[in-house]
Amino acid sequence: MVNMTPKEMNLVNDLKKQEKLCIEKYRQYASRACDNRLKCLFQELEQHETHHLQMLEEMGKGQIPQTTQNQQSNQQGNQANASRCAHENTCSQQDFETDKFLCQDALSMEKYVSSAYDTGIFEFSETGMRDALNWIQKQEQQHGEKIWQYMNENNMYN
């Protein structure tokens, strides 16, 4: 059990709010996206953000969350998700512009969230907590990369 300082607890609570916002955005974006691959990407990222929230809930209770085991289950889920989402939809130009906007906003959100984790990493005194935040931050960076890759493949990123 880790005794957190009030500042550390505030950081965990702020990060939980951010993760809840990410979850809600990805849920809404998956329902609004036209391209099936993008819908699936948003659904995948929503699942990851849900896992991050669970880890932060554990931290709020003074527990150091596991990271390596969860990473393996996420990778298996991603492989199943990829095969389910292999085909593409035909979207209108207006739908394309909506998908592009959703991607731009999601990428911006991931940049912000990653920076929030960066601040948290430097503020925590307990190594296990810093390691957990660092693991989540790395995943947030991977989320941004996945969004960027989708945008780049679909001529949405200049």
Indicate whether 88 pLDDT > 90: no
Tens digit of pLDDT for each residue in 48-72?
Answer: 999 999 999 999 999 999 987 555 5
Query: How far apart are alpha carbons 49 and 140 in whole angstroms?
Result: 9
- Degrees to nearest 5, angle at CA 21 with 73 and 89: 65
pTM: 0.88
CATH architecture of 6-66+91-153: Up-down Bundle (1.20)
More confident site: 77 or 97: 97
State CA 21 to chain mean position distance.
10
Q: pLDDT band for position 158 (50/70/90)?
A: confident
Query: How far apart are alpha carbons 94 and 22 in whole angstroms?
Result: 24
Q: pLDDT band for position 89 (50/70/90)?
A: low
Domain boundaries, the chain: 6-66+91-153
Tens digit of pLDDT for each residue in 109-119?
Answer: 999 999 999 99
Q: Are 152 and 39 in contact (CB under 8 A)?
A: no
Q: Count CB atoms within 10 A of the CB of residue 122.
A: 8
pLDDT at 90: 79
Indicate whether 77 pLDDT > 70: no
pLDDT at 71: 52
